[in-house]
Structure 1
Amino acid sequence: MRRADCPAWLARATICISLLGTSLSAFALPSFDEVHARWHSSDWVLLARDGEPLQRTRIDHSERRGDWVALADVSPALRQAIVVSEDKRFYEHSGVDWRGAAGAAWANLWNTRTRGASTVTMQLTGLLDDDPQRSGQRSIAQKAGQAVNALWLERSWRKDQILEAYLNLVPFRGETIGLSAISMTLFGKAPSGLNDREAAVAAALIRAPNAPYAKVSERACRILRDMQAAGQCANLGGFVQLAFARPAPATLSLTPDDDGLAPHFARRIAAEVHPVAGTRVRSTLDARLQRFARDTLTRTLLELNARAHPRNVQDGAVVVLDNTTGEVRAWVGSSGALSGARDVDAVLALRQAGSTLKPFLYAQAIDERRLTTVSLLDDAPLDLAAGGGLYIPQNYDKDFKGWVSVRTALGSSLNVPAVRTLVMVTPHRFAKTLTALGLPLTQSGDYYGYSLALGSADVTLLALTNAYRALANGGVAGSTADLPRRQAAPGDTATRAAQRVFNADVSFIITSVLSDNNARTRTFGFDSPLATPFFSAVKTGTSKDMRDNWTVGFTSRYTVGVWVGNADGTPMWDVSGVSGAAPVWAAIVGYLHRRLPSAPPAAPPGVMQTRVTFENGIEPARDDWFLRGTQTPLVALAADAGAAVQRVSTRGAVHIGAPTDGTIFALDPDIPASRQRISFERASETSTLSTWRLDGKTLGHASRVPWLPWPGHHLLELVDADGSVADAVHFEVRGAVARTPGTGTGTGTGTIAAPIASQRPTK
């Protein structure tokens, strides 16, 4: 009898005989829903607040599995390739292909190598009871048991459920399990997008998962012929070889060529909740806002680095907080592919704060009733003794504005008035205020000295943005939230009780300054990204040598913080407070309030508005806000106001005010030498004619003489009209900054060798 004439009853008989030596009872078959529910990927998934996936992170490294794929999301080409390859009569049989089994049984009698008779349903039962599916080596009894289980499965599952479960459970190549994983790993696309050639290659891997590419391409070509697509066999070997050479991604991306929307935030969440494989964690992020913030940051950095005018800025970060809850709505930790340190989370990196600390300084001075927003401060050259040298703050534009009000000084981010204010408040008390706001100061205020007014302390973008949220909330500082409050772990140490730092009246007054576009005009002009068509209160900051550029501000609903710079600390080129971070900030708050109004806060009962006039036209008349009892309708300079900022001396009528004896200056290597000056000043005006003499050479007779510094030791003398030396000091100029332990690295931090012009302005 010929093998071709072998009747189907022979296959049935063979199975029945085999069953005599094995159990007739099928194992407890799970339902389709149970199998689906038990499935989990090898990753955990970060979800947005609305449930949209944001980021995948692999945890299980023993197997690579993606999400469960519904049959409707599998390309028709792959469904066809699986059927023609593994089970041509899948839609006809009831679990066992008796015709195929008969042929296999007859071939086995004649010792002929032939394809096994396992159907897709039989293979699925092996996957469900964890049989050695990958080896393909089974006894007749095992195959008979599979057949019985397949018959039972076909009676309780639909065909589409069987094929769907099979595609998700079947091993493909190496550690890759299921269609989702092989599709993204081998072809870099979702299963719904597989074409005929890709489908044939995937189907070929089921029979021989770890075969060399030549064998896989040969089998894939046979599948293509069965699919009536033989034309796709051309250059199939090269295609398979390239697919095998594709680097395996660290995680199964949600979309091709995308490593996710929030990789840095996902790491933060993982450290908090310790998710296991298959976990899906819902966070506070807004997916659309996260995507917009990321894309806006990338676009702005690309524009800053345009070939015509490159600005040498590669990195950036964005944080958006909900004012009321503190929930994080957006967290962009880096500029991604633009960055040379894309894994560094710039939201949590310590960077110098620049002028972003000034609102808190003025808030403290007003709260202590040392100043009002109309108090006048002298924006004029100032040098303060610090650590054996002089601290000499300068403004961003190297210009001085003379007498200005506190509103103008803060709005236009003038440095010298801020330093004068810190002299009143003291660095020690100001540092305590910053710590209460949640800023991570690692040293006491005396360590930073007067440079703390200009942001010499290191802060993180998250902490700084949350500190501004305290102003938005009337002076109350609280913690941020990464997870919805109902998901937060009991006793979460990251959550701290709300703490009042400023009086609500003071917060309102500072907010009125930060939202006043007129107050910014001295530095920023009328038309800048900081001027929004709706209520917003905002401040910029730039640290020494343009290493960090910040814009932080709030609306009635959100607080937004943006940082741009370079992760390695190299300076940017010509990036100001309004050209770096500010455009990103303005775009994000505009997006947030494209349909949501933002109104200024209502005035609390402890403040009152008063019409103020400035004598001698120092500033235009205006309505301004005051703490009750501090209102000042007329602002005038005292007759001795000029003398108030000069030094007091107990020496003779003619003496040197600056520099002091023993001062050591250092040339700042970041400022051209030709633009650096040391000022020699008399301590007070006198009618007595006196002459400046340096190292024996006459310099002039003015009360203040600028001198182009020259390294070395020098003798400065003030000579009376009769030629006698009225006063003399020795000082030294060094060629570079010489820092000493404990002086810090902040903008204008005191040094033994005090930089002549190193107090680089911030705004």
Structure 2
Amino acid sequence: MSLNSVQQFMLRCFVVLLLLASWHSSALAIPSFKEVQLAYQSSDAVLVDRNGVVIHQQRINPRERKLAWVKLEDVSPALRMALIASEDKRFYQHGGVDWNAVAGAAWGNLWNKKTRGASTITMQLAGLLEEDLRRKATARTAGQKITQALVAQWLEQSWRKDQILEAYLNLVAFKGELVGVHALSRVMFDKHPSGLDKIEAAIAVALIRGPNASVAKVAERACASLKEQGLPQFCANLEGQSTQYFARLTAKSDVARTISGPQLAPHLARRLFAANPSATAIRSTLDGPTQAFARDALVRHLSALVDRNVEDGAVLVIDNQSGDVLSWVGSSGALSDAGQVDGVQALRQAGSTLKPFLYELALEKKWLTAASILDDAAVNLPTATGLYIPQNYDKHFKGLVSVRTALGSSLNIPAVRTLVTVTPELFFRRLQQLGFGLRESGDYYGYSLALGSADVSLLALTNAYRTLANQGRYASPRTSDKDPLAAKPVTVMDAGATFIISDILSDRAARATTFGLESALSTRIWAAVKTGTSKDMRDNWCVGYSDRYTVGVWVGNASGAPMWDVSGVTGAAPIWQEVMHYLHQHKIGNLVGNVVVNVVANTMANKGLTTPMQLPAGVVAQQIVYEGALEAARTEYFLAGTEQSLISIAHPDQIRPVIVYPTAGMLVALDPDIPPERQRIRFAAQGVKQAKWLLDGKAPVTPVAANQAGRTALSIDWMPWPGKYLLQLVDNQGKVLDQIKFEVRGAVLIAEPKFFAKLIN
């Protein structure tokens, strides 16, 4: 028996004794190949669309970078050959432990000779699978090495060689956070593992043995591997090529966060995976082609507005019936300095987009009809914090207009007058029912709520318009299979009133006063639409719906910086129109194919395409005529019981008497720096020619008659005094026409005796 044979025999006997001594049940707990595959978890999660197509890939494990499991047949043959040549030449001959290599390593260690390690690929895989065997900061103990050999032999008996090689290539760590050949190939070589050439394969294998080795050392090991394969000619300039690959790796080091898959829905993906942290794949309700089209339309139109200080935007598309979100574009991507901000969920000032819900409530309560006349003229509304003076967008007044014209042309003052009737608190409660989740009360916003002073999200706003499309039936939208199935809709608004609002929002003639007959709000299919622009042009919106879809678009700056001369009809509306046409391209194609373009054009030029919505019960059509031809005669829709054929203008003596100042609940503070005799509160009323004032049941003390010259009973000046008061307006018979409560606060001032005499008298 040769010396080498004696060495191997003695070593085998020693190992067998140790194995018998250390045998335990751990080997029996080793998973099968299938179990390892199923337990494998990529560091990236994927979002698929409603058809199962991957539309977004997102990093969810910040500690290590692992991409999808790669089958052995999808790994470059060059890499497989390099791995075996470098790590385990007898891989296909041994049964898990290469006894020749073990004997050589042991003999070399005995004589302090530097030899290559005896660990086989199977033994290394055992170390990757068993928690106790994974390399820590210190070397493995003798007991751990023996267990490793035992597990390797068990693997060889239970797994095929190709399965061992496949699992190893997917689980082995390379450099830094890169785990598995798929991550290494994508990040370092920018290609799939199937495309690695001989040089790239040699460099990859060199990193297994020394993940933290220098470029020169890696090149040296890669060259040795190439020589092992009989390919020394590829060693030329190997260090230079290695340097190039390492530079790429360094550039992506932060990123090995860089994602190689599609990046179509980053904001929704982030939201869904944050809500489902253990999920690695989520099926969304998005439609991939629609998502891509909406994103491209947003970027294309914003690119044309860069000289107007616009860089951000968002688009949302919801299926009316199911509530499925078909497109969720949260930002303009590279155009934005705040691309991570989700414009779909960000809270921004609503502008005029809340007006349809205000008018719907007024119609529902039967306080107004679509034919009612409102005054678009200057108005000063007293509030607890001072006068509120609303203005129209174009700073001009249109005079007497119908509700249809006021809403269609988005006139501000008629909306504020409507809110005076509805009251901010009642309107606030309706908005909450529609899912807006406003943070303050109706009184906090006051009359400005009619003009959209509240902050809302595109998600809530678009879904509220979807409620209009569904004739008042509200339900939450769905974004993925993780969301609960659509709950039974809750009726929030009157079906008849929403039908009338939808008809107004689709009426080209109604919006012609402000927008003209042809604008980006005009579509080739029936659609109801509304724009909105917030104060100083910081936000503009366009939200509307057809019988199938609701589309919402926001354009502005995430920083809150104002845009330059960009309104809803020039900023958001063109994007809305393009997306809406895309969604209905087949219907539009059918219209053209049936040669009805002229008919459609004539209909649209008049009042808009005929609504596909079914006329709800309780809605009647009535031919109307305006007194004095204020507006053209037309057929108008009314809630049953409110219809009328002749629309007359109300005269002053028909207006209900009302106290306009002070306002109910008003708090007045006396100024200690102003002499008491110079402080006044002016009581004012409208709707009656002759009336009397009572303050806590008595006539209020006013200045001398000379100071009241020219004043009627509807306007008097009162000298305030601290206290809580009940102010009443009564007619000559003593009947109370209106009353309010208010309070005056302030220190009792030291004044001249003649001042107190005035109060007593």
**Match for residue 333 of structure 2 among 322, 336, 345:** 336
Matches of 2:321 and 2:9, distance apart in 1: 72
> What's 2:614 paired with?
602
Matches of 2:3 and 2:165, distance apart in 1: 29
Q: Deviations over 1:573-604 (max 9, x none)?
A: 11111221222222333333334789721111
On the 8 A contact 1:197/1:232 being kept in 2, the answer is: no
> What's 2:240 paired with?
235
Alignment of 1:140-155 (within 5 A): 149-150=151-152, 152-155=154-157
Residue 396 of structure 1 pairs with residue 393 of structure 2: yes
1:360 deviates by 0.7
One-letter amino acid of the structure 1 residue matched with residue 247 of structure 2: L
Closer/same/farther in 2, CA of residues 128 and 413 from structure 1, 3 Å limit: same
TM-score by length of 1: 0.74
Matches of 2:350 and 2:617, distance apart in 1: 33
> What's 1:315 paired with?
312
Deviates more, 1:131-140 or 1:504-513: 131-140
On the 8 A contact 2:27/2:154 being kept in 1, the answer is: no
Residue 369 of structure 1 pairs with residue 366 of structure 2: yes
Residue 27 of structure 1 pairs with residue 27 of structure 2: yes
**Match for residue 245 of structure 1 among 250, 275, 282:** 250
1:369 deviates by 1.7
> What's 2:39 paired with?
38
**Match for residue 447 of structure 2 among 450, 460, 466:** 450
1:403 deviates by 3.0
1:83 deviates by 3.2
One-letter amino acid of the structure 2 residue matched with residue 530 of structure 1: L
One-letter amino acid of the structure 2 residue matched with residue 428 of structure 1: E
**Match for residue 619 of structure 1 among 603, 609, 631:** 631
Higher relative contact order (CA 8 A, sep 6+): 1
Matches of 1:120 and 1:554, distance apart in 2: 61
On the 8 A contact 1:289/1:330 being kept in 2, the answer is: yes
Closer/same/farther in 2, CA of residues 54 and 252 from structure 1, 3 Å limit: farther
> What's 2:539 paired with?
548
> What's 2:506 paired with?
515
On the 8 A contact 1:172/1:202 being kept in 2, the answer is: yes
Residue 573 of structure 1 pairs with residue 574 of structure 2: no
> What's 1:418 paired with?
415
Closer/same/farther in 2, CA of residues 428 and 135 from structure 1, 3 Å limit: closer
Matches of 1:513 and 1:649, distance apart in 2: 33
On the 8 A contact 1:448/1:456 being kept in 2, the answer is: yes
> What's 1:167 paired with?
169
On the 8 A contact 1:104/1:116 being kept in 2, the answer is: yes
1:455 deviates by 0.9
> What's 2:745 paired with?
none
Q: Deviations over 1:390-427 (max 9, x none)?
A: 43322222233333322222112121222222222222
Alignment of 1:228-307 (within 5 A): 229-231=234-236, 233=238, 235-249=240-254, 252-255=257-260, 260-273=263-276, 275-276=277-278, 279-305=280-306
> What's 2:722 paired with?
none
1:37 deviates by 1.3
1:70 deviates by 2.4
Closer/same/farther in 2, CA of residues 135 and 433 from structure 1, 3 Å limit: closer
The gaps in structure 2 that reach 5 residues or longer are 589-608, 661-668, 670-685, 688-707, 716-761
On the 8 A contact 2:105/2:118 being kept in 1, the answer is: yes
Matches of 1:285 and 1:193, distance apart in 2: 32
On the 8 A contact 2:19/2:150 being kept in 1, the answer is: no
Q: Deviations over 1:645-681 (max 9, x none)?
A: 999999xxxxxxxxxxx9xxxxxxxxxxxxxxxxxxx
On the 8 A contact 2:285/2:326 being kept in 1, the answer is: yes
On the 8 A contact 2:311/2:557 being kept in 1, the answer is: yes
> What's 2:222 paired with?
220
Residue 429 of structure 1 pairs with residue 423 of structure 2: no
Residue 69 of structure 1 pairs with residue 81 of structure 2: no
One-letter amino acid of the structure 2 residue matched with residue 262 of structure 1: A
1:17 deviates by 4.8
Closer/same/farther in 2, CA of residues 48 and 7 from structure 1, 3 Å limit: farther
**Match for residue 178 of structure 2 among 172, 176, 195:** 176
TM-score by length of 2: 0.74
Give the structure with the larger helix fraction.
2
Closer/same/farther in 2, CA of residues 66 and 725 from structure 1, 3 Å limit: same
1:503 deviates by 1.0
SS at match of 1:235: helix
Matches of 2:614 and 2:5, distance apart in 1: 88
Closer/same/farther in 2, CA of residues 202 and 480 from structure 1, 3 Å limit: same
**Match for residue 536 of structure 1 among 523, 527, 544:** 527
SS at match of 1:481: coil
Matches of 2:371 and 2:256, distance apart in 1: 58
**Match for residue 359 of structure 1 among 349, 356, 360:** 356
Deviates more, 1:443-452 or 1:364-373: 443-452
1:295 deviates by 3.2
> What's 2:345 paired with?
348
One-letter amino acid of the structure 2 residue matched with residue 264 of structure 1: H
On the 8 A contact 2:320/2:466 being kept in 1, the answer is: yes
1:504 deviates by 0.7
Matches of 1:304 and 1:488, distance apart in 2: 39
> What's 2:122 paired with?
121
> What's 1:586 paired with?
577
Matches of 1:529 and 1:196, distance apart in 2: 58
On the 8 A contact 1:217/1:237 being kept in 2, the answer is: yes
On the 8 A contact 1:466/1:480 being kept in 2, the answer is: yes
Closer/same/farther in 2, CA of residues 281 and 512 from structure 1, 3 Å limit: same
On the 8 A contact 1:441/1:458 being kept in 2, the answer is: yes
Q: Deviations over 1:272-322 (max 9, x none)?
A: 44x23x6434343334433333333233222211xxxx1111222222333
On the 8 A contact 1:440/1:458 being kept in 2, the answer is: no
How many residues are matched?
641
Closer/same/farther in 2, CA of residues 462 and 12 from structure 1, 3 Å limit: farther
**Match for residue 628 of structure 1 among 601, 626, 640:** 640
1:206 deviates by 0.4
On the 8 A contact 1:134/1:171 being kept in 2, the answer is: no
1:188 deviates by 5.3
**Among the aligned pairs, what percent are the same residue?**
53
Q: Deviations over 1:98-122 (max 9, x none)?
A: 7656765665565432323433233
> What's 1:203 paired with?
205
Closer/same/farther in 2, CA of residues 318 and 123 from structure 1, 3 Å limit: same
One-letter amino acid of the structure 2 residue matched with residue 510 of structure 1: I
Matches of 2:7 and 2:212, distance apart in 1: 34
The root-mean-square deviation of aligned C-alpha atoms, in Å, is 4.0
1:219 deviates by 2.1
SS at match of 2:498: helix
Matches of 2:305 and 2:654, distance apart in 1: 45
The gaps in structure 1 that reach 5 residues or longer are 490-494, 651-661, 663-682, 685-723, 730-763
Q: Deviations over 1:588-623 (max 9, x none)?
A: 333333347897211112212233344554433333
Q: Deviations over 1:311-361 (max 9, x none)?
A: 111222222333233333333333333333333333222221110011111
On the 8 A contact 2:97/2:149 being kept in 1, the answer is: yes
1:166 deviates by 0.6
